[in-house]
Amino acid sequence: MTAQVAETVLRVAVLLEAGVTPTRAWDHLAKQGDLQASQVVNAVDGGARIDSAIAALAVEPAPEPRRRIRIARVDAVGESVHARERRMWRDVAAAWSIATTVGAPLAPALRSFADVLRDAEESADEIRVALAEPTSTARLLGWLPAVGIGLAFALGFDPLGTLLREPAGWACAVAGVGLLMAGRRWTSRLALAAHRDAVMPGMDADLTAIALSGGVSVSRARTLVDAARGADADDSAAVRDTLLLSEAAGVPAVELLRSAAALDRHRARVDGRLRAARLSTKLLLPLGVCTLPAFLCLGVAPMFLSILPSVSLPLP
């Protein structure tokens, strides 16, 4: 779904390069079955500007009561697909608004921005793939205590009866369930910290490059970017350093900003791989401190308590 955003923007750019007006470009895509383009056309027909109509695609609909828990679970391990798509549409609206305000050629700006969106999405996908393996392994090992109980039943023991009838079983049950819940919570917190999602790296630099390509001053470009992005605006040190370098060297800042944005996305990829490597190591802590002891309390201890009364100890 998120890849479709870049595809739609690219198709609009190609139509604009062919001489089609912006409104007609969106109308052509809507007639081809593009749902987002249809929403844009309906909003424009209602009197909205195109950039406002695109920004409306980023508005989060109110979830149905039955879906709220499921959506919360998706967001608990990383940004949901729909949230990423809405964020991309906000950036597309910002790029469109800035380009039309400064008078920058809209078609080249959108074609370049489509490449930016595709690159940013590939970067985000690489990070999620790197983090998927340790997270999935932790979830799988979280079922180890349940496997222990099933193994006890398979061997002919009654672990649930032992846990519920014997005082020692009560202690094992309380300890095992407590350790299991603590381990799951600990694992979730580690995974959530590793899956942190921020705004797409380098986006401010790319939007500033679009603004400067229209011939406005640096201060005006930064003002337009901050106004267009709103709460997503980020006073990036990389953008400031790049603008200072451009001023000191006396060279245009547009290409420098685009290269700085590409470098930011590369760094994000590297940071994601490093976080995945660190997560694999950190997940050993809840496994050793909580999950394995819970397996012993809920799976091994009931078998031991079941056979203990039948064991006769020789008297001295």
Query: 63 pLDDT exceeds 90?
Result: no
Residue for token digits 């401010």?
204
Q: Is residue 136 part of a domain?
A: yes
Q: Is residue 137 part of a domain?
A: yes
> What local confidence, expressed as pLDDT, does residue 133 receive?
76
Q: 200: alpha, beta or left, given left = phi > 0 and alpha = psi -120 to 50?
A: beta
> What local confidence, expressed as pLDDT, does residue 69 receive?
37
Give CA–CA dist 218/211, Å, rounded: 9
Cα 120 to chain centroid distance, Å, stands at 12
Ordered DSSP codes for 147-182: HHHHHHHHTT--HHHHHHHSHHHHHHHHHHHHHHHH
pLDDT tens-digit series, residues 177-195: 898 889 888 888 888 777 6
Q: Is residue 315 part of a domain?
A: no
Give CA–CA dist 293/296, Å, rounded: 5
pLDDT tens-digit series, residues 235-294: 567 788 888 888 888 888 888 998 888 888 888 888 878 888 888 888 888 888 888 888
Question: What does pLDDT average to over the chain?
Answer: 80
- Mean pLDDT lowest for which of 32-41, 124-133, 206-215, 263-272? 124-133
251 or 41, which is more confident?
Answer: 41
pLDDT tens-digit series, residues 16-27: 999 999 999 999
**Beta carbons of 262 and 202 less than 8 angstroms apart:** yes
> What local confidence, expressed as pLDDT, does residue 307 receive?
74
pLDDT tens-digit series, residues 89-138: 988 999 999 999 998 888 988 888 888 888 777 777 777 777 777 778 77
Helices (H) and strands (E) in the chain, counts: 17, 0
Widest CA span in the chain: 102
Of 82, 67, 56, whose CA–CA distance to 1 is shortest? 82
> What local confidence, expressed as pLDDT, does residue 16 receive?
92
Mean of pLDDT values over 218-234: 81
Ordered DSSP codes for 66-77: HHHHHHHHHHHT
- Domains held by the chain: number: 1
- Residue 35's domain comprises 2-307
- Spatial CB neighbours of 201, under 8 Å, sequence gap ≥ 6: 120, 123, 261, 264, 265, 267, 268
> What local confidence, expressed as pLDDT, does residue 38 receive?
92
170 or 60, which is more confident?
Answer: 170
- Spatial CB neighbours of 94, under 8 Å, sequence gap ≥ 6: 207, 225, 228, 229
The Cβ of residue 121 has, within 10 Å, a number of other Cβ atoms equal to: 18
Q: Is residue 46 part of a domain?
A: yes
- Mean pLDDT lowest for which of 44-48, 77-81, 158-162? 77-81
Q: Is residue 314 part of a domain?
A: no
Query: 74 pLDDT exceeds 50?
Result: no
Q: Is residue 146 part of a domain?
A: yes
40 or 234, which is more confident?
Answer: 40
Q: Is residue 11 part of a domain?
A: yes
Mean of pLDDT values over 37-48: 92
HSE on the CB side for 161, CA within 13 Å? Answer: 7
Q: Is residue 129 part of a domain?
A: yes
**Beta carbons of 107 and 17 less than 8 angstroms apart:** yes
> What local confidence, expressed as pLDDT, does residue 160 receive?
80
Mean of pLDDT values over 130-158: 79
Band (31; pLDDT cuts 50, 70, 90) = very high
Query: 208 pLDDT exceeds 50?
Result: yes
